[in-house]
């Protein structure tokens, strides 16, 4: 699927990118459909889970993170995601317990 | 000497690979700051959504689900053309590269046109959070939700801030791709040197990812009703 050139570029076949596209389009219509079904509190969780899967597919394959030899790219990405989770989790933990009792 | 036969290689880099890795890493750092930029707004959105859920649900239902889904699909198509454009530049296919870049710009403009029609609808419904903001239609459509117009206003403030800043990123992206298309048309890129295509592509995919999260968070809050 991936071949090497002199600068170790990973060139994917175009059919591979079309496959990724088909998965992303299918997931978009799937999430819009699932939102109309009553799953209680799981509606939000499923919607965010599908969004995270789609985002991961874009990062790994369209943005070539899966095939990069640069460890720094992955380190920057993980640091940014970690920071984002720190912000969201700690803020929401604060707001959801502050007025309790 | 490698520098002499490679005009695109700047003198402070040892070789082309190092130069390209440095440029790519710079874009990833920038995207890291972009995650922080959007992250703050997402965090504010999540906190208010938790606090004022009925108004956020009513506001979300008033958005056009078909337009939102369509726009998500349009952006995914544009991400495909970007990925294929980077591939065309790796293979040195100049004509294919220009066509794919033009397709990307086309999809980007399509997205903004659909978004423009949505904003126009919200303007005619008095949902833009100004002195003329009016939530009467939401109150009538959702009699059992006890809608507070002030809280509905917060939903639409966040909606316009998030989609507005996202649209601004789209406009910047279209501008960048205009320049890249011109450079590609002039034959500036070769299989050895196509870094601008690659890092502009990274930016475009990031803007796509922001929308991948905005779509469920804004349009799909509560679509379970009849």
| Residue whose C-alpha is closest to residue A34's, from B76, B224, B215 | B224
Chain B residue with Cα closest to A53:
B212
Contacts of B35 in chain A (CB under 8 A): 80-81, 83-84
Query: Is B46 at the interface with chain A, CB within 8 A?
Result: yes
Chain A residue with Cα closest to B46:
A92
User: Mean pLDDT in runs of 10 for chain A (101 residues)?
Assistant: 51 94 97 92 92 96 88 93 96 85 51
ipTM of the complex model: 0.91
Helix axes A42-57, B195-214, angle to 10 degrees: 170
Query: Is B191 at the interface with chain A, CB within 8 A?
Result: yes
Flag if B25 and A31 touch (Cβ within 8 Å): no
Across the interface, of B31, B69, B82, the residue whose CB is closest to A32 is B69
| pTM of the full structure | 0.92
Flag if B212 and A70 touch (Cβ within 8 Å): no
Mean pLDDT, all residues of chain A: 88
CA B100/CA B116 separation, integer angstroms: 24
Chain B residue with Cα closest to A9:
B90
Helix axes B149-185, B94-124, angle to 10 degrees: 160
Burial label for A45, CB within 10 Å (0-12, 13-18, 19+), is exposed
What pLDDT shows up at residue B136?
Answer: 87
Query: Is A56 at the interface with chain B, CB within 8 A?
Result: no
What pLDDT shows up at residue A6?
Answer: 45
A14–chain B nearest CA distance, Å: 7
What pLDDT shows up at residue A98?
Answer: 83
Flag if A88 and B39 touch (Cβ within 8 Å): yes
CA B204/CA B181 separation, integer angstroms: 14
Taking only the tens of pLDDT, chain B with its 226 residues reads 456 667 778 888 888 888 888 999 999 999 999 999 999 999 999 999 999 999 999 999 999 999 999 999 999 999 999 999 999 999 999 999 999 999 999 999 999 999 999 999 999 999 999 888 988 888 888 888 888 999 999 999 999 999 999 999 999 999 999 999 999 999 999 998 999 999 999 999 999 999 999 999 999 988 887 5
What pLDDT shows up at residue A25?
Answer: 97
Chain A residue with Cα closest to B214:
A51
What pLDDT shows up at residue B116?
Answer: 97
Mean pLDDT, all residues of chain B: 93
| Residue whose C-alpha is closest to residue A25's, from B104, B201, B69 | B69
Contacts of A81 in chain B (CB under 8 A): 35
What pLDDT shows up at residue B103?
Answer: 98
Contacts of A27 in chain B (CB under 8 A): none
What pLDDT shows up at residue B42?
Answer: 96
């Amino acid at each position: 699927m991936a071949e090497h050139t002199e600068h170790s570029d990973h060139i994917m076949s175009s059919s591979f990118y079309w496959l990724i596209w088909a998965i992303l389009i299918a997931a978009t219509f799937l999430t819009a459909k699932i939102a109309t079904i009553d799953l209680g509190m799981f509606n939000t969780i499923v919607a965010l889970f599908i969004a995270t899967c789609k985002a991961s597919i874009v990062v790994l394959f369209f943005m070539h993170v899966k095939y990069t030899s640069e460890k720094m790219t992955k380190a920057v990405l993980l640091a940014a995601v970690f920071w984002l989770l720190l912000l969201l989790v700690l803020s929401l933990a604060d707001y959801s317990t502050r007025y309790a009792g | 000497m490698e520098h002499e036969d490679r005009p695109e290689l700047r003198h402070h880099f040892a070789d082309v690979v190092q130069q390209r890795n440095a440029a790519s890493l710079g874009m990833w750092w920038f995207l890291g700051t972009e995650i922080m930029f959007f992250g703050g707004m997402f965090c504010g959105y999540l906190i208010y959504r938790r606090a004022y859920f009925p108004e956020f649900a009513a506001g979300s239902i008033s958005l056009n689900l078909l337009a939102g889904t369509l726009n998500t699909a349009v952006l995914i198509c544009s991400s495909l053309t970007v990925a294929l454009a980077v591939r065309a530049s790796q293979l040195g296919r100049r004509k294919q590269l220009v066509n794919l870049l033009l397709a990307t710009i086309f999809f980007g403009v399509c997205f903004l046109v659909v978004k423009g029609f949505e904003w126009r609808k919200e303007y005619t419904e008095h949902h833009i959070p100004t002195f003329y903001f009016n939530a009467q239609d939401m109150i009538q459509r959702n009699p059992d939700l006890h809608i507070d117009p002030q809280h509905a206003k917060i939903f639409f403030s966040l909606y316009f801030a998030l989609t507005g800043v996202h649209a601004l990123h789209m406009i910047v992206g279209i501008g960048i791709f205009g320049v890249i298309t011109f450079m590609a048309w002039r034959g500036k890129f070769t299989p050895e040197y196509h870094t601008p295509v690659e890092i502009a592509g990274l930016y475009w995919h990031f803007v796509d990812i922001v929308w991948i999260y905005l779509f469920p968070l804004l349009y799909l809050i509560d679509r379970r009703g009849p």
